[in-house]
Amino acid sequence: MSSIPDPAASDPGASDPGASDPAAPDPAAVEPAAVEPTAVEPPLARLRIGRPPEMYVGAVFLTLAALPLVLIGGGLALLVGPLGTTLRQRVTEAAPGVDVDQVVLALRAGGGVLAVVGFVFVGLAWLALRPRRRARTAVTVLAGLEMALLAFAMVLTAPDPVSVGITLLAGAGVALLYLPRSQEFLVAAV
């Protein structure tokens, strides 16, 4: 047999794939300042702030505040069941010369507008959770309008628990969307 020397047998580091070249510098010995960054990250990309749970609670409060708009508006828009029949009878008894169909059409149109505003209100409440400042501003305007109208109605009539509850839900929902943690999340996510 020929006696050809095996290069792997003579060099113990060559057979070990994990062994490093003795001439190469040790990575642990290299100073951190000497390592150059490969890519520059934007300052806010490193900052990951999770969506605070208060924002979800605020969206739920705003949804509950908008629910009467959707229900009352939908009920007026459809005028189904005894509501439509009772309304027609009362209009006929109260004002015999008034066209009942015109009154019903006006109430249906008003109910449709209320239902659409209610659905937009709910949609904006949940869009405000995303980093879209305009959705938060729009839902704040709608909540403020609802609170002002309910306060005006409560001044003209006696305050009832439902109106007070809806006003408090709308105010608390907006306040939760503007807490400092919510603001930090929106600023960091933009």
Q: Tell me if 178 is assigned to some domain.
A: yes
Per-residue model confidence as pLDDT tens digits over 44-93: 444 556 788 999 999 999 999 999 999 999 988 887 767 777 887 888 88
Strand runs (DSSP E) across the chain, as ranges? none
d(CA 189, CA 57): 19
pLDDT of residue 38: 58
Whether pLDDT at 11 is above 80: no
Judge whether 43 lies within some domain: no
Confidence label for 17 from pLDDT (cuts 50, 70 and 90): low
Instruction: Render the burial of 103-118: b for 16+ CB within 10 Å, e for the rest.
Output: bbeebeeebeebbebb
Examine residue 182 and state whether it is found in any structural domain, yes or no. Answer: yes
Residue 2 maps to a domain: no
Pick the range with the lowest mean pLDDT from 19-33, 49-63, 140-154.
19-33
Q: Is residue 24 part of a domain?
A: no
Q: How far apart are CA 131 and CA 144, in angstroms?
A: 21
Q: Name the nearest CA neighbour of 142 among 163, 181, 116.
A: 116
Give the mean pLDDT of 11-30. 56
Q: Is the pLDDT of residue 101 over 60?
A: yes
Residue 125 phi/psi, 5-degree rounding, is -60, -40
Domain that holds residue 96: 53-189
Judge whether 1 lies within some domain. no
Domain count, the chain: 1
